[in-house]
Structures are given as C-alpha cells and as structure tokens.
Homo-oligomer: A and B are copies of this chain.
Amino acid sequence: MPPDAPPTCDPQTDLTADAQPDRFQRAREAQAVALLEDYVEMIGDLIAEHGEARVADIAQRMGVAHPTATKAVSRLKREGLAVSRPYRGVFLTEDGAALADRVRQRHRVVVDLLVAVGVPRETAELDAEGIEHHVSDATLHAFEGFLDAKG
C-alpha cells in the first residue's frame, strides 16, 4: 500500500456504507415494478377514454412495438392486475384498477410538488414519470403536507 493511502476503515463513513446494500436493493426493487405501474396507469387511462385498452393503443402510448406490449400484458395478467381473452381488449382487475388509481394520484402529487419548488411544468411532467416510482408512502405524505401548507 502506498504511504499516502487513505485509512482502511473510518467508522463515520462505515455506518452509511453498511446501509448501502439495502438502499440499492430497494431501488432495484422499485425499478422492477416501475414498468408495471406505468402500464397499469396507462391502461386505466385508455379504458377511461375508449372503454377498453387495445394492444395497439397500449404499444403506441408506451412507445414500444406491439409484441413488447403483449409481453407486458402477459406479466400484468400473471400478477393478477389485468385480464384479457385472445384477440380482445385488455381490462384491469379490481387490484389493477386500485393500483392504477394510486399510481395516477401519486404521479399528480409528484408533479405538483416539483412545480411548487420551482420546476417548470413541462420538465416536472417529464421527470415525474421516472421519479414517481421511487417515492415511498412516507415521502408522498410529506409532499402532500408541504403542498397543503403552501396552498
């Protein structure tokens, strides 16, 4: 080891270092469900607008090819969030619809908070699409509290 090497162990930084694996695993987990959340929310939108969600529309809104959307729908069905029959539209289960509502509301709160702290609406809308999936219930409540106090 070179003579000017930093100390091998610093109890101060080691405390936060120990917590890192859990933080990262939590972030990975959130990212794994992010896609499902976006699909469910968006399928809810399509159903509200058109009465049903067709695979072609889902693919177009997500900006993916239709086989990609079909695969995603399969995962949603496997998770009990959606139902569909061959060559028919996709619909949400009770669980799926409830999740869609929660996700939509959280999205709105995140955008509102970003705007409230000075982020341009357009940018807020863009960034919120990714941020929302990492906002825990505790943070969401804090956001709502802040918005209430400000409004």
- Inter-chain contact A24/B123, CB cutoff 8 Å: no
Please classify how large the interface on chain A is, using the bins under 10, 10 to 19, 20 to 34, 35 or more.
35 or more
What's the dominant secondary structure at chain A's contact region?
A: helix
Chain B residues with Cβ below 8 Å from A118 are 142-143, 145-146
Contact assessment for B6 and A49 in the assembled complex, using a CB-CB cutoff below 8 Å: yes
Q: Quick one: given A17-B61, A61-B21, are A48 and B6 in contact (CB under 8 Å)?
A: yes
Q: Are A117 and B133 touching (Cβ within 8 A)?
A: no
| 13 CB < 8 A contacts A-B | A13-B45, A17-B49, A19-B125, A20-B61, A21-B62, A23-B129, A26-B126, A27-B34, A30-B130, A117-B117, A124-B139, A129-B134, A130-B134
